[in-house]
Structure 1
Amino acid sequence: MKYKLIPLAFLLLRFYGCSQHLFTDYRSLDQTGMWSSSVEELKKLNTSDTEVGQLTRMKQAGVSDDACVQVIADAHNHQHPFASADSAVNLMRAGYNESIILEMTKADQLDNLSGDAVMLRLVGLSDHAVDVILHKRMKGQRTMSSAEIGRLKNTGLSEAQIMERINRGLTDAQADKEAAGREAARNHANTGFTRVRGRRPR
């Protein structure tokens, strides 16, 4: 009798452990044009209905099949479901390509970094500068926040000057102090006046 319990236990473990999303509905992904081979890859990754909904939004924003499969794989490798479609879509709309999204999901930093990444685009930094800053953050290296970078830029600092400060590890507190000083100097300069001298009437 014991020899029958072993395969039964194996089947139960397989059903409840590895195949708990046997009935996931992939039709919304079919409707976005996802290839059947990609859907099969998602099935192997045990994708849930909720995750299918996330991927459907990404597909509608132009994310490729391969990237959709990879974000699910990365999330599962980090022991959690994928729930970051909004972050990915916002990055795509801000002009980022899929490679940076996949770097963030691989590092499990998509939600943490996407908001600042969008702000860096709005600040108007070059692609190279943005790339350097984001890779520093993905490695856990300290950089100024996007808000402080934008503030310093508005005081007249060039991109090269901002990057020099980032590379030497300027903190937000230090950036705030410098920006405040530059803003005060600018405001003082704008309030100057020239005294007009003239002859007094007799």
Structure 2
Amino acid sequence: MKYKLIPLAFLLLRSFGCNEHPFTDYRPLEQSGMWSSSVQELKKLNTSDTEVEQLAKMKQAGISDDTCVAVIADARNHQHPFASADSAMGLMHAGYNESIILEMTKVDQLDKLNGDAVMLRLVGLSDAAVDTILRKRMKGQRTLSSGEIGRLKNTGLTESQIMERINRGMTDAEADKEAAVREATRNHANTGFQRVRGRRHY
């Protein structure tokens, strides 16, 4: 009987492949409220148990079925498993919408840009400025780091002045020098004192 089992095992391997997951448990997604049609799409994308866990976390955070399916599809296009649920949820908690998550997964930069994107929100830039900076980064264009942006802002530069520097290609090193000069000037001004003359008594 052994000679009959070998061809059967061979056929199973050929049918499913080494990287396929025919026995994935999709129940966590169904329990999270995902529509059966979305689950079927994920089955077509050969979603693994680990990825199901990632998507279940995203669903619990309120992320839509469509986005869950899309991030798996993007991961397949980039030939790696999806393991960025925490990054996606971090963006949502910072006030971003799902479209920015999808833009980042499409260029395979969700984990790379997530932290800086959250920091840009904390710096207090407008939505338009944040959007411009993130799109530059997704295109591989140079921008200032969120740390240098925050530092320049703290020295008194307005958002428009900061964006003007970003658009002309200022580097972090250049921003560091300008911030240092502005900080030194501010600190020097704050350490000045005026001599108070008392009334002369006769």
Match of 2:25 in 1: 25
The 1-side partners of 2:16 and 2:194 are apart by 85
Q: What SS does the aligned partner of 1:105 have?
A: helix
Q: Structure 1, unaligned stretches of length 5 or more? A: 1-7
The 2-side partners of 1:44 and 1:78 are apart by 17
The change in CA–CA distance for 1:11 and 1:53 in structure 2 (over 3 A counts) is closer
The 1-side partners of 2:124 and 2:116 are apart by 13
Query: Deviation at 1:10?
Result: 7.1
The 2-side partners of 1:105 and 1:111 are apart by 9
Give aligned pairs, total.
194
Q: Structure 2, unaligned stretches of length 5 or more? A: 1-8
The 2-side partners of 1:57 and 1:182 are apart by 45
Query: Deviation at 1:31?
Result: 1.0
Match of 2:46 in 1: 46
Matched, 1:15 2:16: yes
Query: Deviation at 1:16?
Result: 1.9
Match of 2:4 in 1: none
The 2-side partners of 1:12 and 1:122 are apart by 50
Q: What value does the CA root-mean-square deviation take over the aligned residues?
A: 1.5
TM-score by length of 1: 0.92
Name the amino acid aligned to 2:15: R
Match of 1:3 in 2: none
Superposed CA deviations along residues 127-166 of structure 1, whole A, max 9, x for unmatched, are: 0000000000000000000000011011111000000000
The 2-side partners of 1:133 and 1:69 are apart by 27
Query: Deviation at 1:12?
Result: 4.0
Query: Deviation at 1:192?
Result: 1.0
Query: Deviation at 1:90?
Result: 0.1
Superposition pairs of residues 70-149 of structure 1, within 5 angstroms:
70-149=70-149
The 2-side partners of 1:168 and 1:23 are apart by 53
% identical aligned pairs: 79
Q: What SS does the aligned partner of 2:143 have?
A: coil
